[in-house]
Structure 1
């Protein structure tokens, strides 16, 4: 049985839970072995909530039912819980900063990999495979992720367009052919421009995939398929923003490598061809620049 890592899920969206759900969350986090032996009614009584709140809590953390929650907790009871995210403090040494940033990055990547469901990943690959074109969009740091997606898939011959101008992207989506895929990237899942483009794509009967942080957000609810990263704890100096970007990049890498392996020989041939083309371009550019510098030096000496 594949673990859904209940501890990480609960810690990730704890602040977004209702008051009743937080009471349940505290028991799940602090006394998981007791929860395993309880019924939904017993957990509701122990947390001073209701059986309905227990069911809502399970849904909130992405687990279908309370029996499933107990199975997951049982599978994870001997697994160690690793460090939490840490922020940078005043007067810290460069060595401390390096260690903290490395720890946060590792934590974000590990939790994101554990969070991604294999079935959802397979469904995403199927949508990408069937799409004649892929449009991808994000704002701010999410635009860097969108660019990364486009760069990777274009290298293997999958036409992927990352257009920063919303108006041009609207025009493209309006005339996009059937089975075209739109990938919206928004860490919060509430970016208005991404939501509007997702709505437009769906109104044109295009497929949509969202990449957001874990939890119930508007974009993940509206997209045909939701891929989610761990929800990093925001810190005063926003070191978590770095962690969230790291999480998005590892998810992008996971998506790309899974797709490449589906048709490994063909995709690897495309990667080698694109690398050779880039190397050839660099060589030609270097020669031209060398000739230009030599000509400039000769003319300068004549003058």
Structure 2
């Protein structure tokens, strides 16, 4: 979990500062326990480079940065450590770790401006097409069902062939939303390629940050998953966190237009009436 010790933008740091950041991530204990003179000697940089790095990362001095690394490393170890034991308690704890890590880190790091842009675009589009496969399709179904509930013309599918037929009829007034943990499956990449070819308005919700530089998404929303979950099949934490993002989107729409709540109440009333039919 060391890559979560620090939040920084590569473009804001010099090569020397980036090398220090990498050293900190590789061995946080060493960084915490040494003086700035010892760190400079070990990292092959000047003391002023380390001082500037601390300021560029938003800390007053090196001591403040060291304290942050200590607290963050302690927090991660206490809350997000898993183990390989086969007993039921350990398995349950590992699931808790995967879920809680993904939820907390996603909420803390999600790009709110990008999310707001997607929500505002979604509101004005005529039709919404939502695609995902495997566990990602669960979030597609959640978002699609909720949008249908408040009167949106929305479709969801995990069938690549069905989407390929639909995609030919998508216009600039529509929006294509893709949910994908990695964005690297053959199906997802084919959909993205075709959408780009047709110049469709496209949004992706993914844990793969590299996709932002590879494709022309109008809306790019990233979520976080536990590093150990990246090697799991089927994925665990990505299921719950994608549904979290879907629910954030839906509830934001309700806040923007409170009148939509009346449609939800009406649907709930119909459901209640249906459930009570046999009781009369």
Q: Unaligned 5+ residue runs, structure 1? A: 11-19, 38-42, 55-65, 291-303
Aligned match of 1:61? none
Residue 185 (structure 2) pairs with residue 191 (structure 1): yes
Deviations 1:148-201 (A, max 9, x none): 221122222222211232222222221123321111111012122122222323
TM-superposed CA distance for 1:283, in Å, is 3.9
TM-superposed CA distance for 1:261, in Å, is 0.9
**Distance in 2 between the 1:96 and 1:195 partners?**
36
Q: Unaligned 5+ residue runs, structure 2? A: 9-16
TM-superposed CA distance for 1:26, in Å, is 3.0
For the pair shown, which has the larger CA radius of gyration, 1 or 2?
1
Would you say the 8 A contact 1:105–1:243 is kept in 2? Answer: yes
Deviations 1:117-140 (A, max 9, x none): 221111111111121111111111
Q: 1:86 aligns with which of 57, 71, 82?
A: 82
Aligned match of 1:252? 246
Aligned match of 1:25? 22
TM-superposed CA distance for 1:88, in Å, is 4.5
The Cα RMSD (Å) is 3.9
Query: What SS does structure 2 have at the residue aligned with 1:226?
Result: strand
Aligned match of 1:144? 138
Q: Which runs of 4+ in 1 moved over 4 A?
A: 20-23, 43-49, 66-69, 72-76
Q: 1:85 to 1:167 in 2, by over 3 A?
A: same
**Distance in 2 between the 1:145 and 1:253 partners?**
9
Residue 96 (structure 2) pairs with residue 105 (structure 1): no
Aligned match of 1:13? none
**Distance in 1 between the 2:56 and 2:102 partners?**
23
Aligned match of 2:58? 71
Deviations 1:217-258 (A, max 9, x none): 379743221111113223699389212222222222222222
**Distance in 2 between the 1:247 and 1:105 partners?**
8
- State the aligned residue count: 251
Would you say the 8 A contact 1:6–1:72 is kept in 2? Answer: no
Deviations 1:204-225 (A, max 9, x none): 3321111111531379743221
Please show how residues 1-303 of structure 1 align to structure 2 within 5 Å.
Answer: 7=5, 24-27=21-24, 30=28, 31=31, 47=43, 70-71=57-58, 77=68, 80=72, 81-82=75-76, 83-90=79-86, 92=87, 94-217=88-211, 221-234=215-228, 238=232, 241-264=235-258, 266-284=259-277, 286=278
Would you say the 8 A contact 2:225–2:237 is kept in 1? Answer: no
